[in-house]
Structure 1
Amino acid sequence: MAKTRPQRGATMNAASTRFNLPGQEADGDWLDAREAIDGEAPRLRTTVTVERPRTIIARNASPDVPFDRSINPYRGCEHGCIYCFARPTHAFHDLSPGLDFESRLFAKPDAATLLRTELARPAYTPAPMALGTNTDPYQPIESDWRITRNVIEILAETRHPLTITTKSDRVVRDLDLLGPMAADGLAAVCMSITSLDPKIAGTIEPRAPHPERRLAAVRRLADAGVPVYVSIAPVIPAITDHEMEHLIERAAQAGARNAFFIPVRLPHEVAPLFRAWLDAHFPDRAGKVMATIQAMRGGRDNDPDFFNRMKGSGPWADLLRTRFHIACRRHGLNRERITLRTDLFRKPAGAQGELF
């Protein structure tokens, strides 16, 4: 059985089977040896590498994704969520989707400058900009780098619509920007809460804030007039699915207007990482969990087909949807669709204009 690492999600740093990457482990220096605790693997320290992309807006044409553009201030995510569908992207950097993904991060400090340039292009037309669609824009390093805040400042200045998806209550630090934007119909936030059980949450999302802190953030956002969704994503059968109704009730009590859920997805390298995590943390039910996942995914660990990948299929998926819709009706969620305005957008002044 793979050893767990303190405050880390993945139990291994397996190579990518798609790119033939070598497996990697901790450096083995004296700090690793000193920090080993009671036979556990040593603590893994986070490193951040500066990335200098040429553009910052990522375009998306997937028919089952409700936005066509996004910004990801960071690559990798220190929250360490074991189920994260973005883990395989680390293989593009010759790094493992396992422990490397949550400890060897990339930051894009030029994001706001690049965004200003792209918004100023004559052909640019506005539509909601999504933050947090790949990795969390409010993961712990945002406290120091403040790249997400800098991006929001540009969007607020240009009155550009914005959606944020996060697992962190750090989002409320930017209420001074998000509140006025929301008052003009320009901002909405989606708070991801997978489990209300702190023990389970601390296992599947080891460095994400406590669930109660996230609910408190929902309340603060709602009180400030920011429309809030709650995302129950993913739902993991036999581990978190029993919490669905209570989680929806708590979300509604905190002021959320809408909610949605997605059954757990296991694309590419996520599947073996998830299996190893199950063996380490839930060996008593690992077989049941995977059997139920496969029942919702056409007999496979993952179904990549558009639309099916977001909702699953079969009796188990149908049951989850039925429970979800009943709970939302009972607690008054999803009564109206949240829409953001695009007609207030004003292009930023170009570099020449800023001289005068």
Structure 2
Amino acid sequence: MRLARDLGPQHLGRRVVVRRALADGSAGDVLGELVAWGPDRLAVRARDGRDVLVEHGAVLAGKPVPPPPARRGAPEPDPGRVRADLALERAAAQGWPPLEREELGGWLLRASAGFTGRGNAVLPLGDPGLPLDAALERVVAWYAARGLVPRFQVPLPAARGLDADLLARGWQAYHPTLVLTAATADVLAQVPDPGVAVEAAGRPAEGWLAAYHYRGAPLPPAARAVLEGGEQRAFLQVPDPDGGPPLGIARVAVADGWAGLTAVEVAERARGRGLARALLRAGCAWGAARGASGTYLQVAEDNGPALALYAGAGFAVHHRYRYLRPGDPVPVAP
């Protein structure tokens, strides 16, 4: 359901204001982050961390609003939420393992010959065990030895303090990304079987690789090794009945009870047929068969069509992350 041009599921993760009718006949505003958009209601995460549910029928108006100004002395995020965010980030890192990794205390340094941001960034899951500036020197040297620019993938709000410290040292942020989650069983119940044949394989076929467009260019040599990483993963594709390249592809990986769906792509000639939902359902079914009770997706904040698609399947915002690197940002696929 869409309320108006001003507000819709494509605004997941955005700060919004929603005016709603109250039981006494008056109206009240809810201000915060739009974290869910279901068939009957939406959810706005208020400043205090509460998720306020609003029935669609009670909404009088709504629109995105600018982010709040930076505040000094902002309250620390809830410890339980921090633990949940970092646990999911740890599972996602296992689902997309790098070619090379090293631990620096609670920081995970990852390198994959430059293929994807996730495979070439520090994931801060705890304290590095060193003073910050000394730890950053180690990071810079580690990536320089591999011919890579140092970068962090910073989960928010869990690592908000590190994010502020890096910004204060001249690092720049780019590629804000939402981590969406849903109960796997709920997705399977909400997304009907479209009757589309989806094939699953343990390794990507040449057609699958040809259909995966990374930065609009052919895949680099390291791509296959990265894609085939992880203990439990499958490569999904919707075959072309005419024998051409796959009409749609996706990758699914399972770790720590989570199924992660990545590399979802539908050929331009096949869009509008529900193939993305078919791949989503197939990925959830594959994950459920291997014990994944939850499913996650990582979606760029500005990808409105994808956010609307996944919101319609029952996904909501779990947390977010963004990349930081020294100096001027150089875009890297999330």
Fold conserved (TM > 0.5)? no
Which structure ranks higher in relative contact order (CA pairs < 8 Å, sequence separation ≥ 6)?
A: 2
TM-score by length of 2: 0.26
TM-score by length of 1: 0.25
Greater share of strand? 2
